[in-house]
Chain A
Amino acid sequence: NAGVTQTPKFQVLKTGQSMTLQCAQDMNHEYMSWYRQDPGMGLRLIHYSVGAGITDQGEVPNGYNVSRSTTEDFPLRLLSAAPSQTSVYFCASNQGGYGYTFGSGTRLTVV
């Protein structure tokens, strides 16, 4: 099994550009979530989904959109990139009562 696959691994954006970080899981997990990791701040929840068609905001949702049209995919969209969105992004999936599986991360730099 591939687990959780995130693409791209690295990305450089200019301020104001938009992009989509892809996340796909092949474990048929109900729940998926997006996090950003910043030095000194640790990991913080951006958005999460409890199933296809259902999403909700986490701790730091501003500037990000998500959708979940299938169980497998949970893309994260940056609408208009800002330098403050420079970070490492992790996607994760889990099934009720079990631990989380994380993707390998996307390192995003906004210049």
Chain B
Amino acid sequence: KNEVEQSPQNLTAQEGEFITINCSYSVGISALHWLQQHPGGGIVSLFMLSSGKKKHGRLIATINIQEKHSSLHITASHPRDSAVYICAASYSGGGADGLTFGKGTHLIIQP
């Protein structure tokens, strides 16, 4: 069974701290996705990675294909970054057959 594991499950940090959320997967993937979900809210796609590193504003996502591991970093964290961050894997080319998800990391940034 294809599995996606995330850590930590819960993370509380102070405003301004550097945040790292980790994701590992069990078998080869076509792409790794990072998603954000605010309480009671919808799901927003942050990154889709198949290799290397991507950056958008204060968010950075990296992937190591050999180690089957990805990380999401948040620099200069802010209370508005408080949300659930979810990693998900697609296994078919182009993501045709849906996503397999980790259980999410609940992040709270305190002022």
Contact = CB atoms under 8 A, between A and B. Distances in A.
Contacts of B102: 42
Interface of B: 33, 35, 42-45, 47-48, 86, 88, 93-104
Contact of A96 (B33, B47, B96): B96
A12 interface: no
Instruction: Find the residue from B45, B88, B98 having the highest chain A CB count within 10 A.
Output: B98
Instruction: Find the residue from A45, A92, A94, A105 having the highest chain B CB count within 10 A.
Output: A94
A87 interface: no
Nearest to B103: A42
B101 A101 contact: no
Contacts of A33: 98-99
Interface of A: 30-31, 33, 35, 40-45, 48, 50, 56, 58-59, 90, 92, 94-105
B101 A104 contact: no
A42 B94 contact: no
| 8 pairs of A and B residues whose beta carbons are closest in the complex | A96-B94, A99-B45, A42-B103, A33-B98, A102-B43, A48-B98, A45-B98, A43-B101
Contact of A42 (B42, B44, B48, B101): B101
A103 B101 CA distance: 17
A100 B31 CA distance: 12
B18 to A, nearest CB: 25
A31 B96 contact: yes
B91 to A, nearest CB: 11
A90 B101 CA distance: 13
15 contacts: A31-B96, A33-B99, A35-B98, A42-B103, A43-B101, A48-B96, A56-B97, A58-B97, A59-B100, A90-B42, A92-B99, A96-B93, A99-B45, A100-B45, A105-B42
